[in-house]
């Protein structure tokens, strides 16, 4: 066979070198038992030792989870605890919700909770997906502001909307609600899905500023009968306004 490489032809002097041979023989072809190169063996053993150390460090089940994800989660939780210390335990009442809906920092916080937990069903900007649009004026389980945290905490539609009270704490639920009110009336791209069946309610007291004193309602379209129900601590009677 002609050779097209520069390699010197192997001289066949009829001598088999004295190097150790394996005991394989394939059609008379013998195989030298040469050792693997040192660098290869170093990598091999090195990776075994590395994996043992890695396992001990990250996965031993005794020390707290050291993974980057866990460290991140801990940092987020610590940061949240620090932030929540500022605002204390929020009550899911109208005054609190509307107050925080005015605060861009806390709205941003509510948004981040929304992005983490809700976008899969309600869409990136609450425009609606398998869950309904939450920015429009059509509500099914909600008649007044306080109903929103209630739905978030307890779920709705026979669990089609899951209950979040075991996964989110009260402050998160309140701030989620504040976020939803802050984006209420926006028309994010992708809106226009048909409303879910039975969506009929309008939150009648939604656009009333939280701090607005009783009797000074100048909202266009506000019903006169609301004058006696807008006091923030008179929440139980709110629902009456729409009747």
Residues that bind ligand HEC (CB under 6 A): 114, 117-118, 120-122, 130-132, 134, 139-142, 148, 151-152, 156-157, 160-162, 164, 176, 196, 199
Least distance to ligand HEC from the beta carbon of 125, Å?
13
Q: How far is the CB of 84 from ligand HEC (least distance, A)?
A: 17
Structure tokens at 203: 């939150």
Q: Helix, strand, or coil here: 26?
A: strand
Question: Shortest gap between Cβ of 65 and ligand HEC (angstroms)?
Answer: 25
**Nearer to ligand HEC (CB atom), residue 217 or residue 242:** 242
CB of residue 98 to ligand HEC, shortest distance in Å: 16
Least distance to ligand HEC from the beta carbon of 75, Å?
21
CB of 159 to ligand HEC, least distance (A): 9
Partners of residue 161 on adjacent β-strands: 156
Residue 124: which H helix or E strand, with range?
A: none
Helix (H) or strand (E) holding 22: strand 21-26
User: Which CB atom, from 65 or from 73, has the smaller least distance to ligand HEC?
Assistant: 73
Closer by beta carbon to ligand HEC, 186 or else 218: 186
State how far the Cα of 74 lies from the Cα of 68, in Å rounded to an integer. Answer: 10
Element (H, E) at 160: none
Ramachandran sector of residue 126 (left: φ over 0; alpha: ψ -120 to 50; beta: rest): left
Backbone phi and psi for residue 47, each to the nearest 5 degrees, phi listed first: -70, -30
Q: CB-wise, 99 or 144, nearer to ligand HEC?
A: 144
CB contact at 8 A, 217 and 227: yes
Q: Which is nearer to ligand HEC, 177 or 232 (CB)?
A: 177
Residues 6+ apart with CB under 8 A from 180: 110, 114, 126, 134, 135, 148
- Judged by beta carbon, residue 156 or residue 206, the one nearer ligand HEC is 156
């Amino acid at each position: 066979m002609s050779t097209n490489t520069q390699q010197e032809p192997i001289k066949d002097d009829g001598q088999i070198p004295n190097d150790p041979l394996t005991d394989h023989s394939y059609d008379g072809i013998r195989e030298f038992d040469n050792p693997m190169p040192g660098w290869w063996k170093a990598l091999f053993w090195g990776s075994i030792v590395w994996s043992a150390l890695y396992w001990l460090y990250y996965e031993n089940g005794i020390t707290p989870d050291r993974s980057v994800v866990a460290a991140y989660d801990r940092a987020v939780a610590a940061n949240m605890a620090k932030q929540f210390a500022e605002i204390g335990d929020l009550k899911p009442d109208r005054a609190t919700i509307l107050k925080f809906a005015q605060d861009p920092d806390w709205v941003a916080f509510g948004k981040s909770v929304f992005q983490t937990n809700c976008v899969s069903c309600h869409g990136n900007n609450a425009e609606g997906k398998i869950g309904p649009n939450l920015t429009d004026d059509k509500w099914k389980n909600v008649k007044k502001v306080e109903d929103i945290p209630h739905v978030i905490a307890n779920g709705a539609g026979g669990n089609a909307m899951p209950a979040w009270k075991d996964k989110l704490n009260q402050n998160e639920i309140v701030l989620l609600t504040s976020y939803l009110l802050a984006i209420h009336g926006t028309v994010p791209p992708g809106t226009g899905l048909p409303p879910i069946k039975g969506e009929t309610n309008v939150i009648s007291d939604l656009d009333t500023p939280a701090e607005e004193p009783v009797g000074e309602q100048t909202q266009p379209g506000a019903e006169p009968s609301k004058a006696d129900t807008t006091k923030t601590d008179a929440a139980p009677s709110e629902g009456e306004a729409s009747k």
